[in-house]
Amino acid sequence: LNVIIGMNQLVMETDISTEQRNLCEQVASSSDTLLVLVNNILDLAKVENGRMALTYTDLNVRDVVEEAARTIAANAMEKGLEIAVYLDPSIDARASGDVDRLRQILLNLLSNAVKFTHKGSVYIHVSVLKEEDGTATASQRTFKFNVRDTGIGISANGISKLFKRFSQVDSSKTRSYGGSGLGLAISKQLAELMSGTMGVQSEAANGSEFWFTASLLRPQEAPNPDEGALKKACKAMEGVAVALVAGKEGPLRSSLKLYLSKLGALVDCYNSTAEVPGTASVCFVCPVSGRTENGDLMVHSVMDGVIDMLEEHKSMRAVVLVPLPHQAEVSPYKKLPRVLIYVRPVRFGDLCAAALAASQPRPPTPSNREGETLRVLLAARNARQRTEKKAQMMCAGYRVKVIEQAQEALEAVKQGGYQAIVINNPVGLPGPELCALIRDSDTSLEAMPVIGIVSALEGDEHRRYLESGVSSVLPSSSEERELTLAVQGIRGRTVLTAQFGRYPWAFKQ
């Protein structure tokens, strides 16, 4: 089977037709499904024959759970689901046990939760059972893992069928969701092999909560490496006013609030960055995974709000926890002053690092090369381009006003107060027409520096920009250095076209 999968992958890397590629993708999908089934049957046979032996190694329960959450996060967040993890920071998560089998159980429960949940969240809560429960000894502790979802739920009759080999709650749903009916049976037996058990609480249409326990050996008497980072983070956040923007009430907001409160922060929750008051020293923001009504990624819309918030509250810092599938989308914002970016589901270690970084002295606000605050008007339609260009100019120390509507931008320019305007396909008018209106509307605006952003240089839009009297033209892919040089260069500086490297023709000569 592994040979089939490997050879099929080699075929897909060759020059084949679209129809052949589709067939190869079906082979790959079916092979992967069959491989999982074969491995499950082998595991089941080993457990039932008493041949499954646990391999004990040192592990960190927090790391295992967070890695499992990251593994399924991409699929979950693409569906619009939130993933949250909570394990009390005061618990020593070091232990000794079979990390592969523990991960196998977690991934099975998490995969099922994502599979059967179409809206809402998946929440993983880990705790240690108290000694009075009779599960702890001098050499071991019992951890309890709860996986809660807001999915389709299970009826009382369906619960009775769980944990049985080749049994599924509703066979009519097998075609929709797939599965062999072995995962839970194997997971329960693996939990029992770890001197634990497994159970479920659920109601039809009201979500499910699967849980299991596992007895793990206590860690050896040695300094806990996590304790030092925790103490530093607690010292940094003690009494700090923190604003948390993490959607509506739910596991994500509650788990982050718990974590930050455990670090000593004074946490208040808000629904949007626009509601955050200036009394907060740090704002933790969690953009949702999805798109706006206009089809733009929500992360760009939220980053726009973060930038506006920081412009209004000069002493505040922002920590943005970006959904895993969209981490590449936020690269333009990483250079923004007073902004820290981490990936969600966030690891507790990253949360401590963010707390430490956010408590450091505020870096000086960058200034442009002329030592003054340049005010720039940005007229743009696309949320991503709008936020990216604004972030690039803010990194250079410019004050940027964003307007989507072309007519509104024209009126703002007439009122004065701006030293430059950047046009990137605004709503209502093509960019070249807006530029021409700016030039013709008032003789005092004839010298207004105007930069046009185009999708491709030397195209029709580029030509029309030059005919409209634009000062310079740059491609939408231009980087911070190119944009800031354009803004500075058209204000009387001598700019050599060689400075622009890839775009020697960017300036109208």
Distances (CA, A) of 360 to 233, 250, 342, 356, 485: 11, 30, 17, 7, 31
Tell me the per-residue pLDDT of 62-120, one tens digit each, with 9 for 90 and over.
999 999 999 999 889 989 999 999 999 999 999 999 998 999 999 999 999 999 999 99
What token pair was written down for 165? 């080999």
Q: What is the largest CA-CA distance in the chain?
A: 90
Q: Quick one: what percent of the chain has pLDDT higher than 70?
A: 88
Q: Following DSSP, what letter does each residue of 261-316 receive, concatenated?
A: HHTT-EEEEESSGGG--TT-SEEEE---SSB-TTS-BHHHHHHHHHHHHHHH-TT-
In this structure, whether the domain defined by 228-359 belongs to CATH 3.40.50.2300 is answered with yes
Q: Residue 491 has what pLDDT?
A: 41
pTM of this structure:
0.78
Count of CB atoms situated within 10 Å of the CB of 467: 11
What token pair was written down for 477? 């892919």
Q: What's the rounded Cα separation, in Å, for the pair 211 and 226?
A: 26
Q: Which of 41, 131, 124, 44 is nearest to 81 (CA)?
A: 124
Which secondary structure element, helix H or strand E, spans residue 6, and what is its range? Answer: helix 2-12
Say if 228-359 and 375-489 have the same CATH topology: yes
Tell me the per-residue pLDDT of 369-421, one tens digit each, with 9 for 90 and over.
454 578 899 999 888 888 888 888 888 888 888 899 999 999 998 888 888 89
Q: Following DSSP, what letter does each residue of 449-478 receive, concatenated?
A: -EEEEESSTTSHHHHHHHHHT-SEEEETT-
By DSSP bridging, strand 317-323 and strand 282-285 are parallel
Contacts (Cβ under 8 Å, ≥6 apart) of 365:
314, 337, 397
Q: What's the rounded Cα separation, in Å, for the pair 413 and 401?
A: 11
- At the second CATH level, the architecture of 55-129+138-217 is 2-Layer Sandwich (3.30)
**Which segments within 68-205 are labelled E, that is strand?**
82-87, 94-97, 121-128, 140-149, 198-202
Averaged pLDDT for residues 168-189: 69
Domain boundaries, the chain: 1-52, 55-129+138-217, 228-359, 375-489
Q: Residue 132 has what pLDDT?
A: 58
Q: Which of 216, 192, 179, 210 is nearest to 92 (CA)?
A: 216
Cβ pair 447, 421 in contact under 8 A: no
Averaged pLDDT for residues 288-307: 81
Confidence at 179, pLDDT banded by 50, 70, 90: low
- Grouping H, G, I as helix, E, B as strand and the rest as coil, residue 239 is coil
Terminal CA-CA length for the chain: 64
Tell me the per-residue pLDDT of 1-38, one tens digit each, with 9 for 90 and over.
888 888 888 899 888 888 888 889 888 888 887 887 78
| Fold that domain 375-489 belongs to in CATH | Rossmann fold (3.40.50)
Which secondary structure element, helix H or strand E, spans residue 320, and what is its range? Answer: strand 317-323
Q: Which of 137-146, 162-171, 190-199, 435-444 has the highest mean pLDDT?
A: 190-199
Scored b (16 or more CB within 10 A) or e, 9-28 reads: eeeeeeeeeeeeeeebeebb
Angle between the N-to-C axes of helices 298-312 and 383-395, in degrees from 0 to 180, rounded to the nearest 10: 30
Residue 71 has, within 13 A of its CA and on its CB side, a CA count of 14
Averaged pLDDT for residues 292-315: 84
Averaged pLDDT for residues 239-252: 93
Averaged pLDDT for residues 199-214: 94
Q: What angle (nearest 5°) sits at the alpha carbon of residue 116, between those of residues 110 and 121?
A: 65
